[in-house]
Structure 1
Amino acid sequence: MDIRVQDAAFDPGVLLSAFTTLAAQAGAGAVVCFTGLVRDLPGANGGLSKMVIEHYPGMTESALQSIAEEAATRWSLGPVLILHRYGALTPEEPIMMVATASAHRADAFLAADFLMDYLKSRAPFWKKEFTAEGATWVAAKDSDEDALSRWR
């Protein structure tokens, strides 16, 4: 399992290519990848200028590792990649990436979906959005909790 929490930008294509090679070498027949991007806020005055993501070093990586290990107990997986950025990001920048590999597509899709639901609601990241109107901490959404509840 490859868990990365970093402030540096990343190229999803380069990471996916390397991950796919690793998955193939491990005998996988399926790779699923999700890349999240920073969205603009079109309704905000002037839109989103930046998003600042904070995390608690050490605790964040440990939480992501635990989530990945839980996925591996539920599905037959090969390599798993979870990458999440922190720091200041602007609209359209990649913010995170999850990739899973398995012998069969169903396990790879389910594991990636599971990881995303847990990342959205349980990973210790805090996001603050900056617009011309000021700055606002991003609150948890009921829809994220609803999505997570299907895995319990």
Structure 2
Amino acid sequence: MTDGPRSPEPPSGPPPDNDVERKPLRRRVTDAWNKLGPVSKAGAIGVAAAVVGGAIAVAHFWATATDDEGEAEESGGVLAEVARILDQAAAEQDNSSSLNAPPPRPSHTGDVSGYLRFQCLNPRGHAVGNCRHEWRWVDDYTKGVAKEEEEEDAEV
């Protein structure tokens, strides 16, 4: 046996839950988030989105502010670059939305034959599996405006 220094003994158990000084910040935030209900979480996310949106709006305003001669201020730096990128993205989105929009689908009109449909009897509980399904018969029907009605409208 040696009489040298002994290593410290490990703690006897896990740290208590209320020991704030020992928990890292990330763990404390996670614990606080998990204690919130769904409505509180949605509210927190909404507030965070509003704050970020407000910060972007203010940055955009500062970056695009003009002096007396109508020229953009040079002191913007990063803010001016962010504003330029936002303006460019908005312009590209406006141009692409009108050019690349898919053509509208032709609406099907006419007679539809009857068919069997496996219908959910509790749509509100469908996502969580709290529903029952049943085969139901759907009678023949006419979808859209009948051709006879279209012709009558065209004549008038």
Q: Under a length normalisation based on structure 1, what TM-score does the superposition of the two structures give?
A: 0.18
Larger relative contact order (C-alpha < 8 A, sep ≥ 6)? Answer: 1
TM-score by length of 2: 0.17
Select the structure that is richer in helix. Answer: 2
The structure whose residues are more often strand, as a share, is 1
